Chains A and B, each alone.
Chain A
Amino acid sequence: MKRVLSILVVLMLMFALVACGSPDEPADPDNGEPAEPAEPSEPDDDDPDEDAKTDWVIALETDIVQFDPIQIGDATTSGVAFQIFERLMTRAPDGSPIPCLAEDWDVSDDGLEWTFYLRQGVEFHDGSPFNAEVVEWHFTRAQSDDSNFQAQFSAITEMEIVDDHTIVFTLEEPNAAFPDNVIMPNGGFIPSMEAFESMEYEDWAMEPMGTGPFMWSEWVQGQRVELVKNPNWWGDGPILEKVIYRVIPEANTQVIELETGGVDLITRASVQDLERFEADPDLNVIVTPAYRSRQYELNVEAFPFGDKRIREAVNWAVDMPNIVEAVASPITVPSDSLLPMAGWAYPGEGVLPNIGYDPDRARELIEEAGFEMVGDYYEKDGERLSIEIHSPDHRYFMDKDISEVVQNQFAAVGIESNVKVMEWGAFLDEVRAGEFQMVFLGWNQSGADPSLFTDAKVMTGGRGNYANLSDPELDELLREALREQDMDVRKELYEEAQFMINENVWHIFVGNESLMWIHPANVRGWDPGPAISGDYTQLYFE
């Protein structure tokens, strides 16, 4: 007994020590790592070139996952991978494709043959050459069953290596979104084939080797990722020596770190903080409309949303434009379509069939569907009209708050609901498995092509179609829109598609979330926009 007690005392002491030690950690930006270069507290009048800060520190909400491009499925990893890997094409600030690893390309008149002329003399970070063989290998992998992007790249039926730096892709049918797929972050990122062949898969996936302006250097799990400048990069730059990502889940902590110089870039802040930042001459705030839609998705295979009347009723029951206006303005703007309003396929406000706010109409529809009011809530055959709302917390702007208002407005109509807030990873597991009734989700793209939204979210079996939505007529229309080359006709087809999507009432549309960047005002050479935001090659501190 005595021995047990003494062990206990030792354990208690250890816990006490650990408890004493932990509060210091968050305050120490280095987390026990070798010291960072000093923050720019010196006056910048004398010889800025020598004193200028050369590391760019970015706050991340979550840690990275893995770097096999064909399996990256989260925005955090994608952002880091963007620095390390490159694609055949990239985007100009206006969203149009411009050369990257391919210097030029041709399309045959029938739209079926795409010839890419690859940049010569490009090397991966491990020294292996970039050539047509690597491109063929990568896109073959991207077509495999393991790939998240199988649907997009299975459009390629044949790849022919003409010479070391020329490759011809033959498509099954014309595909207007093909350049967007090649550009798509993650699937389009081309990794080193030599590294893949010489390493164990698990190691390779955690030690990304690309051709990009920055190279993988160090990862302290849950703390930070460090990238260093690639001195052999083919392009002009980078000027920075290091790009450092720090994992700071707490929004408030991010804000404080930004204000004290611990990080240089945050991409999320409350409305109140934004107002303060905008008044601060030392900080730059950029807010720009983006291709980022937010909506509640209704699982048509789960009770009670198999019944379209109930799907309509929950829409009538919620005054979404006013909720968004009150809670999430000005970052999130109310919308009435799955497609982002900033894109070319959105027909304008009020054009699409729209469900407004009318609690009485909601009650009528619920009663039509056979429910009866028992006490405060509707019931049918003893089963309560009860909805669990899966909601992330601080993943999307004001997500949980919006969900709480929805719950409140549901209750006013007689729909019982509860908000289920989970840790992000567990949340995604349940949502991807289709284990939900109604879920708050967002869909972000860097391109405006509507197929990036429709084909992923509402096409049968689409890669983001977690609510099991399916409408064969819509599928056919979307395929036709993809084959069509004439932009005016495509716009019409997508307008029709949006009509069909809205008439199916698969969603409660929330709005479009703007992109936001907040950084010190002395940052130069960086012009983020919705199409391309991660190009740090010309960035420097003045």
Chain B
Amino acid sequence: MNVLVRLSRHRSARIGLFCLLLVFGAAIFAPVLAPEGYDDQNLAMRLQPPSNESPLGTDQLGRQLTSRIIWGAQISLQIAFLATGIGLLIGSALGLVAGYYGGKIDRLIMGFMDVLLAFPGILLALAVVAVLGPGLYNVMIAVGISGIPRFARLVRGSTLSVREKEYIEAQHGLGARDIRILTKHILPNIIGPIVVLATLRVGTSIMQAAGVSFLGLGAQPPLPDWGGMVSQGRHLLRSEWWVGIFPGVAILITVFGFNLLGDGVRDALDPRVRIAKKGDEPREASAEAGRR
């Protein structure tokens, strides 16, 4: 509870939350909010600039960008959460095992993770999509896999630091099984950094998925995937700028929102960081928070 209060006082987290409320609102209420379906073409209304009738303009097939971006929020969030979820689950499990058992298992798992980490995330995701083939779900899997090593490293490190604590030794002494120790005693004590990484990862996942879609390997038309929309718009950038710019802005707002929120969560979970109460000078907090 304390954490939530601290979070709600965190200034940039509030801005982040506001951005995310917009995006989540769009995703959840898309059927109500969007004036048209995402593939309602009107060839007579091609490439209309933003106006009262079409607030964000229309694309090369006469589809309203407003509606497509609103529907697209569903896809982006879906990708973001599923991809992050894959990385979180598999990565954390591997990290826990590696950190807890140590020795050969640790070297084996982390050696493999280091190999994966050697590739930039987007490159890894591209390689996976190349194997699986293009498509919305394959992109989720690909981006998820590229997130695994990051979670594994973080969880392993945290596990190592908790493993030798007295309360774990006590559990050993009581004869608790490994699985119980891992899930009931280690995991709850390292959940903080995992939550922070997960929140930040969501933003990265959206970026990566948009990148893969931009290259034509993501959700296939006519799905209103933001990355794919930017890709379509780039051909028109010099004359019909709105086709590519607005989906790009949507990506920007979402990723920005998740990053700010992630920073906020990190500060809220860190007892060393002082978060200003209402009326306090907010600068102080951010100065103390610093960067680790």
Interface residues of A (CB under 8 A from B): 1, 4, 8, 11, 15, 19, 251-252, 255, 270, 272-273, 276, 322-323, 326-327, 393-394, 400-401, 403-405, 407-408, 411, 418-422
Contact = CB atoms under 8 A, between A and B. Distances in A.
B8 interface: no
A327 B221 contact: no
Interface of B: 39, 41, 43-44, 46-47, 60-62, 110-111, 114, 117-118, 120, 134, 216, 220-222, 234-240
Contact of B220 (A1, A252, A326, A419): A419
Nearest to A15: B120
B220 A418 contact: yes
B61 A404 contact: yes
Contacts of A394: 235
A50 B170 CA distance: 91
Given A326-B44, A405-B43, A270 B221 contact: no
Contacts of B114: 4, 8
Contacts of B111: 4
B237 A252 contact: yes
Q: Chain A's interface: helix, strand, loop or mixed, by majority?
A: helix
A8 B61 contact: no
Given A4-B111, A252-B237, A393-B216, A400 B43 contact: no
Nearest to A319: B43
A400 B114 CA distance: 40
A405 B61 contact: yes
Contacts of B117: 8
B238 A407 contact: no
Contact of B60 (A4, A19, A401): A401
Contacts of A411: 39
A270 B61 contact: no
B221 A8 contact: no
9 contacts: A8-B118, A251-B235, A252-B235, A273-B239, A327-B61, A393-B216, A404-B221, A421-B216, A421-B220
Nearest to A407: B222
Contact of A326 (B39, B46, B234, B239): B46
Contacts of A8: 114, 117-118
Given A8-B114, A11-B118, A276 B60 contact: no
Nearest to A4: B114
Contacts of B46: 326-327
Most buried by A among B216, B221, B234, B236: B221
A272 B220 contact: no
Nearest to A388: B220
Contacts of B39: 408, 411
Given A8-B114, A322-B43, A405-B41, A400 B238 contact: no
Given A273-B238, A326-B43, A421-B221, 13 more contacts: A11-B118, A19-B120, A252-B235, A252-B237, A270-B239, A272-B240, A327-B60, A403-B221, A405-B43, A408-B39, A419-B220, A420-B220, A421-B216
A326 B62 CA distance: 10
B206 to A, nearest CB: 20
Contacts of B238: 252, 255, 272-273
Contact of A407 (B43, B47, B221): B221
Contacts of A252: 234-235, 237-238
A323 B221 contact: no
B235 A327 contact: no
Contacts of A255: 238
A4 B110 CA distance: 10
